Amino acid sequence: MALTEADRELIKNCLQRKPAAWQRFINRFVGVFVHAIRHTAECHSYPLNDADVDEISAEILATIVANEFQTLRLFGGKSSLATYLAVVSRRVAVKEIAKRRKQSAPPAKAAKKQPATDHSGEAEVLTRDQLDYLIKSLSDQEANIVRAYHLDGKSYKEISSLYGVPENSIGPVLSRAREYMRRMA
């Protein structure tokens, strides 16, 4: 879906700093921001509370207004504004979650490997470098699926169409890959 005339007008009004334009923008897209934040946190197995969502939403808004609304000025209109803002929101959320994870992680030397307490194996936290190293030891198909799910935040359905694998086989592939990476770590 391309840019609607209403969204084009909303962008123009925000860039011209017309009264109440920014508030209309926030009211229209706050749901997109919150959904992107919660989905990203879920994909990265990172628990969030309402205060976290508010803080990350504020970071998204700060990103949008930075450099005289550069994010809005860079929007090319080749997709809907909501889609574009979802991508921007996801990128900010990924950065914020990574930063929070790093801040709350124990020092590397003191870190102890804990067994996963759930069946999915997603309770273990790996650094990006560790994950990249371990992914390289998987088969191409497994690596693609793990990257798409854990790093790109894709759903089983999206992965299925992207790589041509049955949707109901993605969960078992992820479980086997997690188990293999757990043994290798």
Query: What ranges do the domains of the chain cover?
Result: 5-104, 128-184
Q: How far apart are CA 62 and CA 47, in angstroms?
A: 23
Residue whose entry in the numeric block shows the structure tokens 């509370």: 49
Residue 147's pLDDT is: 81
End-to-end, the C-alpha distance of the chain in Å comes to 43
CATH topology of domain 5-104: Rna Polymerase Sigma Factor; Chain: A (1.10.1740)
Output the DSSP codes for 21-88.
HHHHHHHHHHHHHHHHHHHHHHHTT----HHHHHHHHHHHHHHHHHHHHHHHHH--SSS-HHHHHHHH
Structure tokens at 161: 């169409």
The letter for the amino acid at 90 is R
The letter for the amino acid at 20 is A
Residue 58's pLDDT is: 93
The distance between the two most distant Cα atoms of the chain, rounded to a whole number of Å, is 58
Residue 146's pLDDT is: 82
Residue 118's pLDDT is: 38
Residue 77's pLDDT is: 86
CATH number among 3.40.50.10420, 1.10.3720.10, 1.10.10.10, 1.10.287.180, domain 128-184: 1.10.10.10
Residue 133's pLDDT is: 67
CB burial class (10 A; 0-12, 13-18, 19+) of residue 119? exposed
Q: How far apart are CA 62 and CA 99, in angstroms?
A: 16
Task: Kindly list the averaged pLDDT for each block of 10 residues, start to end, along the chain of length 185.
Answer: 88 94 94 94 90 93 92 90 93 92 66 40 49 73 83 85 88 79 63
Q: How far apart are CA 177 and CA 185, in angstroms?
A: 12
